[in-house]
Copies of this chain bind each other. A is one copy, B any other.
Amino acid sequence: MEKILNAIQDDYPDDFAWCYGCGRLNKAGHHFRTCWDGDQTVTIYTPKQEEMALPGFVYGGVIASLIDCHGTGSAALALHRKNGHEPGEGAEPPRFVTASLHVDFMKPTLHGVPLKAVGTVHEIHPKKWKVEVEVFADGKTCAKGEVVGVVMPDSFLAGK
């Protein structure tokens, strides 16, 4: 199984590390971790036993969650690189929130194997990025998605 090295989420400051999907400090969460693979981005996740639609098939909400966090993580990787940084260097990365999420479920997704999300990132403008995502289970495409992420506005922190 492939390993995710130098994930962008490893470099988020502690205040931003609580996301249920990708926060390393959220003990109950999924701990999605996203890294570069050449010019594409990768997140790998093996669904828990209970994360099913029916016995034997993965719950779509978990696939949507994987695509969502993979999208914001990929956008953060891309803007970080544009700013001259790579994860693991110690520079604090930008942090994105999801503006929109789209998922096309191509086929029922077999449970019990790692899911691999692969992303291609496009800059729309400096604070708005689009990530095309393909999710594979056992080498077969099970879902395709698109995430539009925007740099986290200050209002998010201010609780407004």
Binding site for B on A (CB under 8 A): 15-16, 18-21, 26-29, 48, 50-57, 59-62, 64-65, 68-69, 97-105, 108, 110, 155-157, 159-160
Contact = CB atoms under 8 A, between A and B. Distances in A.
Contacts of A97: 53, 60, 105, 108
Contact of A20 (B28, B50, B104, B159): B50
Report copies per complex: 2
Contacts of A64: 61, 64-65, 68, 101, 103
Contact of A54 (B62, B100, B156, B160): B156
A32 to B, nearest CB: 10
Given A55-B18, A59-B19, A50 B68 contact: no
